[in-house]
């Protein structure tokens, strides 16, 4: 009880101290209640309505879409534009007349589903290309939440449908208790797919569901969709043609907003495909003309696709499959005589079908230019791979110089140009970086306006407030009267028996007053006053200020007594003046009057000195408000830096060769120029307000110098602090708060401690020296003391006596405003100068990783070397390691192999040590494209980060063009191009401006920059978007731009991290051709990709990474021959309703009896069967002969046979990913 009483007393005390009014309290209580009532009313009034025609597309039309999307099918709608695909999905949704409805309770929703006939429309679920999930909710809550939108019309309660898949198809079980933000990107995509599938939705729409997944995760998703499609209609969009080929029962291809074709994969391949591609690997004594004659003898319509290096490629028409058995048998019989090392065949891909359909729609697309060169380079690459696998020389260390000159590099003209070096390169890079900052400011003009206005507004407020504050001047005269006291009541008493003179005097007294007169009864005046005061209380005391009593019975004698209320300071003089003024009017006439005034004595010099010493309000107000304005202004200088760091654009610029000095000093110069403009406007404000302290004796120049030196100090400080943030909005907010605290709080602390009454001047001087490290404190104190010094000079030099008084009160001033002694501002100028230099030095110390290098050296002295248990290595990997360790890396990387890795390792030691990259040894030669494959988390991106300088190396080393990444990382970065996994492009620049910037960073002479940029834009099909801002680019166009940034200028080594993610097939082929031509110009390219087709098309060699190690290494054909086995068979059997699939069953029995124990049925639907034939001894002739013999008997409409794919080889290593990691841990 005592505690409650004390609490109540404290509340009451606070209430009294704040002098709160009842009205304010009521407003604070009632406003929240009022807004709550408004929200309740709105909630009741808002109704849910259907808007079936709300979506309107003016630029696109979708025609001839079939309305009978059959059930139990997966239908794909590939297309070049995500907009077109989205339109198709909108139309598909409208065909089912789906609507959005709201329900207050689950019971209402269940009743609607069970009883309302319109409930048949609430059956669709959608997964978008970009996942829409709640990052702060665990998975079970999200699944339960989304079930409300996919509830199917069954009698089971909703709770029964919220169970997770017991088969763990989406691998939820390890993350079901953790918020979603802990999951990597592919798992978020899996969750979105699961949310679309759960709840037994009859119609499911998936927009690029597997984008960003590795092949293993993509394959698991495919299996899930195949298992979940029964009883559903699934509509998918994708850029992966192999995905459409595998999953799609029917495939619809859109172009130009119209549906161009629709059918099964076999139907489309048969209608639009070129047939089979037969690839023959030649021996040294291969007879090409004889092989061609033999092929034409059995397949007259066959065409020679390419003959390059050790490989031949022929196109065999689909119509001639009946003759393939004889052809392949002949090749097998005469293999040695013809000089054939090996041969294989692959069927037309869906990507070729897509390109040919696109050609039919858009005749401007040169499909031969897009498709055939890529295939030709692929075959040349395969032949080169084969020779490299069989060569006795070191694989990857050979100087490959015999490249064909056909075709031009996307910037081949630029690759032969002599690049700028020395001073010219520095000037060109400085110009590129300066132009980047200028474009950012120009395109973000709102930020520019804020930069100008915020300091100006605060300065104007400061000056306005300073003008309105009272100052210590001599007090003016005060005219006496009752008007200053408001409504008053003047009691006047005329004693009984008074003569004519006293009566006239009293009348004159009353005539001069507008106040209420009270003529009292003939009683004692004092008793009257006491009685009225007792009756009226405080009101009488407030309104009764003066009074008078008149007496005198004679005609020649009268007297008056003036009464006054002593609570008023001037009431005695006022009471006397009223009585004298009445007497004067009585004598001189009614127009006569006396005006009395109080004129205080002027302050003496001592008082003036004390006032001057105690405060300087104008300087204080200017300093405080100026610091607030500059706090906001200086924070904007970190916005672009934080954005560049968060999207890795800064790292890509450094990898592209920009020197740190050019990067930072160009930013500093632009920001100082930007900072100069508001400073000049503030000088105009000072001039407009007539601030004499800043105007006299050319002090505006001094003020400008103070502001510029503050900018010199605070801008590098903002650069330093930008490393602490990952988002621009957070950086701006927190840096503004930091600037306010480091300026205002320190300034107030020192200013308050200087008050003489506190006797803490020694503490004030100490803190003043400590706070000199903060630019904002120096700014506030310099302006305050500059103004104070001016006032001291003005007062102390006004006369001889004031100078004596100033000495008496220890008022010091400095004729030289830049004096080092107080109140001079010289020490602040020095502090600004030193701060700028120190902050810039610290900036370069951080950028050069000096502290990290020193720490690594110190820890290496005490680190114990751990014995690593060497796991069994593949022979090719071991041979590569041996060859690399035996060579001279510096010499070899300068001569034949631009990239050499020697035992490269990376260990993350936060918490439990994680070995991310484990002793990689590799050499990549000139003109080689090396593929780095692996599952998510295998270490590919970490390897790229180490090679580009984004991550430190734990052990081992790598050499690029003769320079070590551990000792000469800056020289290494000037010799590489880098396309990161995520787009590192700046939204405020156009595509042309972006490529021009990177061309200048590479050192391409200015007269060639525009030509090189145009070449890149044309080769990547970016010309229509060249002058658009990057923020308007689609994901595919951003990837093309990122690839162009890496390829422009022709650096010796190029790193491409999943460069074609999100691109449509046409754009992907264009990129492949660009990469191929770059490789053929002698550049070394290292690429990571989740597309096995891309790896086969581009890579001369590749390696599969598992848990940071190479598990296999070699050319694509070598890996397929070594780790792959068998063939893939797809057959379409004609099924008639009355036969009830009898032919299909007989054909399946035939396959299983013909290939006993060697045929695995992978899929079966609607007469289509997919088999994997695992017998390694089978020949192409045997397979085609068997199928041709069965074609008529089992009514086979179509079939295709292809070799095992590289993806299946890749997936064979999936079982080692987690197993090996757990063993190491």
Dump the DSSP string for 525-544: HHHHHHHHHHHHTHHHHHH-
Structure tokens at 139: 């998975």
User: What are the mean pLDDT values of the chain's consecutive 10-residue runs (1225 residues total)?
Assistant: 59 53 59 65 51 40 39 42 45 41 52 54 40 43 41 36 38 32 48 72 82 73 79 83 80 79 80 76 78 87 72 79 81 82 72 72 48 41 38 32 35 67 92 94 85 85 73 72 82 80 84 67 75 80 85 82 87 89 85 83 65 64 89 92 91 89 94 92 89 85 94 95 91 92 91 82 89 94 90 80 76 86 91 95 88 69 52 83 84 77 83 78 90 83 86 88 85 86 89 94 91 88 90 85 88 88 76 83 87 82 88 83 76 64 79 81 74 78 81 77 74 61 38
| Residue for token pair 């933000």 | 181
What's the 3-state SS for 1124-1166? Answer: CCCEEEEEEECCCHHHCCHHHHHHHHHHHHHCCCCEEEEEEEC
Strand partners, 254: 259
Residue 686: φ, ψ to 5°:
-60, -40
User: Which residue, among 386, 355, 167, has the nearest Cα to 261 in the 3D structure?
Assistant: 355
For 722, which DSSP code?
Answer: G
At 362-413, the pLDDT tens digits run 554 444 444 434 444 444 444 443 333 333 233 333 333 333 333 333 444 5
Per-residue pLDDT, 1070? 78
Per-residue pLDDT, 634? 92
At 562 the three-state DSSP class reads: strand
Contact 646, 727 (CB under 8 A): yes
Q: Quote the CA–CA distance of 151 and 144 in Å, as a whole number.
A: 11
DSSP code string of 90-159: HHHHHHTT------SSHHHHHHHHHH-GGGGG--EEEE-SS----TTSBHHHHHHHHHTTS--S-SS-GG
Q: Quote the CA–CA distance of 646 and 1033 in Å, as a whole number.
A: 19
Q: Quote the CA–CA distance of 1025 and 991 in Å, as a whole number.
A: 7
Residue 265 is inside which H or E element, if any? helix 265-272
Helix boundaries (H) for 299-366: 324-333, 335-338, 350-361
User: Which residue, among 876, 843, 635, has the nearest Cα to 739 in the 3D structure?
Assistant: 635
Q: From edge to edge, which strands make up the β-sheet containing 559-564? A: 516-519, 489-494, 546-551, 559-564
User: What are the residues whose beta carbons fall under 8 Å from the beta carbon of 616, sequence distance 6 or more?
Assistant: 784, 787, 788, 791
At 313 the three-state DSSP class reads: strand
Q: How many helices (H) and strands (E) does the chain have?
A: 49, 30
The b/e string for 106-132 (b: 16+ C-beta within 10 A; e otherwise) is eeebbebbeeeeebeebbbbbbebebe
For 339, which DSSP code?
Answer: T
At 139-193, the pLDDT tens digits run 444 444 444 333 333 333 333 333 334 334 443 333 333 333 333 345 566 667 7
Strand pairing report for 1196-1203 and 1127-1133 = antiparallel
Dmax (CA) of the chain: 164
46 Rama sector, left if φ>0, alpha if ψ -120 to 50, beta otherwise: beta
Global confidence as pTM: 0.66
Q: Quote the CA–CA distance of 564 and 546 in Å, as a whole number.
A: 4
Structure tokens at 280: 């023959």
Q: Quote the CA–CA distance of 998 and 653 in Å, as a whole number.
A: 7
User: What are the residues whose beta carbons fall under 8 Å from the beta carbon of 301, sequence distance 6 or more?
Assistant: 317, 319, 320
Helix boundaries (H) for 950-1034: 969-973, 991-1002, 1006-1019
User: Which residue, among 1170, 1175, 1185, has the nearest Cα to 1155 in the 3D structure?
Assistant: 1175
Per-residue pLDDT, 557? 84
Per-residue pLDDT, 874? 84
Per-residue pLDDT, 406? 33
DSSP code string of 858-916: HHHHHPPPPPP-PPP--HHHHHHHHHHHHS-HHHHHHHT-SEEEEEEEEEE-SSS-EEE
Q: 10 Å Cβ neighbour count for 810? A: 9
User: Which residue, among 34, 36, 18, 37, has the nearest Cα to 26 in the 3D structure?
Assistant: 34
At 444 the three-state DSSP class reads: coil
Q: 10 Å Cβ neighbour count for 460? A: 16
Prior bond of 823 cis (ω within 30°): yes
Q: Quote the CA–CA distance of 106 and 109 in Å, as a whole number.
A: 5
């Amino acid at each position: 009880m005592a505690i409650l009483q004390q609490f109540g007393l404290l509340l009451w005390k606070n209430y009294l101290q704040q002098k709160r009014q009842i009205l304010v309290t009521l407003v604070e209580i009632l406003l929240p209640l009022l807004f709550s009532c408004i929200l309740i009313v709105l909630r009741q009034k808002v109704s849910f309505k259907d808007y079936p025609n709300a979506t309107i597309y003016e630029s696109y039309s979708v025609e001839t879409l079939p309305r009978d999307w059959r059930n139990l099918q997966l239908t794909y709608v590939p297309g070049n534009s995500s907009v077109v695909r989205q339109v198709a999905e909108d139309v598909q949704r409208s065909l089912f007349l789906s609507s959005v409805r709201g329900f207050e309770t689950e019971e209402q929703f269940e009743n609607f589903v069970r009883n309302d006939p319109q409930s048949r429309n609430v059956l669709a679920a959608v997964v978008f290309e970009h996942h829409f999930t709640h990052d702060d909710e665990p998975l079970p809550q999200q699944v339960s939440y989304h079930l409300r939108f996919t509830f199917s019309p069954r009698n089971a309660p909703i709770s029964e449908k919220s169970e997770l898949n017991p088969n763990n198809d989406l691998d939820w079980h390890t993350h079901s208790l953790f918020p979603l933000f802990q999951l990597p990107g592919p798992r978020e995509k899996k969750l979105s797919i699961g949310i679309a599938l759960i709840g037994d939705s009859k119609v499911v729409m998936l927009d690029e569901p597997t984008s960003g997944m590795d092949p293993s995760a993509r394959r698991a998703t495919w299996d899930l969709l195949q298992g979940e499609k029964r009883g559903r209609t699934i509509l998918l969009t994708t850029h992966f043609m192999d995905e459409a080929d595998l999953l799609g029962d029917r495939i619809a291809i859109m172009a130009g907003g119209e549906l161009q074709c629709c059918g099964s994969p076999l139907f489309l391949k048969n209608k639009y495909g070129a047939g089979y591609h037969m690839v023959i690997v030649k021996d040294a004594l291969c007879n090409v003309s004889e092989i061609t004659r033999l092929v034409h003898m059995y397949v007259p319509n066959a065409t020679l696709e390419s003959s390059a290096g050790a490989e031949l490629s022929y196109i065999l028409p689909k119509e001639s499959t009946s003759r393939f058995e004889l052809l392949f048998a002949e090749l097998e019989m005469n293999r040695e005589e013809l000089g054939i090392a090996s041969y294989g065949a692959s069927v037309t891909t869906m990507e070729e079908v897509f390109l040919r359909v696109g050609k039919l729609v858009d005749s401007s697309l040169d499909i031969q230019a897009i498709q055939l060169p890529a295939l030709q380079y692929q075959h040349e690459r395969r032949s080169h791979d084969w020779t490299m696998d069989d060569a006795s020389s070191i694989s990857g260390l050979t100087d490959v110089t015999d490249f064909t000159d056909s075709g031009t590099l996307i910037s081949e003209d630029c690759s032969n140009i002599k690049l700028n070096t020395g001073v010219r390169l520095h000037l060109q890079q400085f110009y590129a970086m300066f132009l980047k900052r200028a474009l950012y400011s120009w395109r973000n003009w709102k930020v520019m306006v804020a930069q100008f206005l915020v300091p100006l507004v605060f300065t104007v407020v400061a000056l306005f407030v300073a003008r309105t504050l009272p100052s210590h001047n001599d007090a003016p005269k005060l005219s006496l009267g009752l008007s200053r006291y408001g409504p008053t009541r003047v009691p006047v008493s005329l004693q009984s028996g008074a003569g004519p003179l006293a009566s006239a005097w009293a009348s004159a007294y009353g005539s001069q007053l507008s106040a209420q007169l009270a003529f009292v009864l003939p009683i004692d005046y004092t008793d009257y006053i006491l009685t009225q005061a007792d009756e009226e209380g405080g009101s009488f005391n407030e309104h009764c200020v003066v009074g008078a009593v008149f007496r005198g019975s004679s005609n020649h004698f009268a007297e008056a007594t003036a009464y006054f209320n002593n609570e008023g300071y001037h009431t005695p003089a006022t009471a006397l003046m009223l009585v004298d003024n009445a007497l004067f009017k009585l004598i001189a006439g009614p127009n006569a009057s006396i005006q009395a005034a109080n004129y205080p004595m002027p302050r003496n010099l001592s008082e003036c000195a004390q006032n001057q010493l105690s405060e300087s309000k104008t300087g204080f107000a200017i300093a405080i408000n100026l610091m607030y304005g500059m706090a906001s202004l200086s924070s904007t200088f970190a916005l672009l830096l934080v954005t560049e760091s968060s999207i890795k654009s800064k790292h890509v610029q450094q990898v592209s060769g920009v020197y740190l000095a050019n990067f930072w000093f160009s930013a500093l110069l632009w920001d100082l120029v930007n900072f100069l403009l508001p400073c000049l406007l503030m000088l105009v404000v000072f001039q407009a307000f007539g601030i004499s302290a800043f105007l006299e004796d050319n002090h505006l120049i001094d003020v400008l110098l103070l502001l510029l030196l503050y900018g010199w100090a605070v801008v590098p400080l903002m650069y330093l602090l930008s490393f602490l943030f990952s988002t621009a909005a957070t950086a701006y907010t927190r840096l503004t708060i930091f600037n306010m605290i480091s300026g205002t709080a320190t300034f107030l602390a020192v200013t308050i401690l200087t008050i003489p009454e506190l006797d803490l001047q020694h503490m004030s001087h100490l803190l003043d020296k400590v706070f000199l490290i903060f630019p904002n404190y120096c700014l506030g104190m310099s302006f305050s003391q500059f103004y104070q010094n001016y006032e001291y000079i003005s007062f102390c030099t006004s006369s001889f006596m004031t100078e004596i008084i100033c000495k008496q009160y220890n008022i010091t001033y400095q004729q030289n405003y830049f004096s080092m002694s107080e109140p001079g501002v010289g020490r602040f100028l020095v502090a600004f100068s030193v701060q700028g230099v120190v902050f810039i030095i610290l900036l370069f110390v951080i950028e050069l990783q000096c502290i990290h290098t020193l720490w690594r050296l110190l820890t290496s002295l005490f680190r114990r070397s751990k014995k690593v248990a060497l796991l069994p290595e593949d022979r090719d990997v071991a041979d590569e390691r041996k060859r690399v360790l035996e060579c001279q890396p510096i010499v070899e990387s300068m001569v034949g192999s631009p990239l050499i890795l020697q035992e490269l390792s990376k260990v993350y030691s936060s918490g439990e040590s994680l070995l991310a990259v484990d002793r990689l040894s590799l050499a990549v030669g000139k003109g080689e494209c090396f593929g780095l494959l692996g599952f998510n988390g295998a270490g590919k991106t970490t390897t790229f980060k180490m090679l580009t300088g984004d991550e430190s190396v734990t052990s081992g080393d790598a050499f690029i063009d003769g320079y070590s990444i551990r000792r000469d990382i800056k020289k290494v970065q000037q010799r590489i191009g880098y396309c990161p996994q995520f787009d590192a492009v700046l939204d405020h620049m156009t595509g042309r401006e972006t490529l021009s910037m990177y061309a200048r960073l590479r050192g391409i002479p200015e007269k060639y920059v525009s030509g090189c940029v145009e070449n890149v834009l044309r080769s990547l099909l970016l010309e229509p978007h060249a002058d658009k801002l990057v923020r308007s680019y689609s994901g595919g166009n951003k990837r093309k731009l990122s690839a162009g940034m890496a390829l422009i200028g022709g650096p010796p080594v190029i790193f491409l991290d999943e460069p074609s993610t999100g691109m449509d097939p046409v754009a992907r082929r264009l990129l492949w051709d660009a990469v191929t031509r770059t490789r053929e110009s002698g550049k070394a390219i290292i690429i990571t990709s989740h597309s096995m087709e891309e790896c086969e098309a581009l890579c001369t060699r590749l390696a599969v990474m598992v848990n940071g190690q190479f598990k296999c290494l070699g050319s694509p054909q070598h890996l397929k021959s070594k780790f792959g086995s068998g063939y893939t068979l797809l057959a379409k059997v004609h099924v008639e309703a009355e036969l009830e699939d009898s032919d299909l069953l007989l054909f399946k029995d035939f396959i299983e009896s013909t290939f006993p124990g060697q045929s695995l049925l992978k899929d079966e639907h609607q007469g289509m069967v997919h088999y994997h034939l695992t017998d390694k001894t089978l020949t192409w002739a045997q397979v085609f002969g068997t199928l041709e013999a069965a074609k008529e008997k089992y009514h086979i409409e179509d079939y295709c046979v292809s070799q095992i794919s590289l993806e299946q080889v890749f997936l064979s290593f999936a079982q080692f990913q987690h197993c090996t990691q757990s063993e190491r841990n």
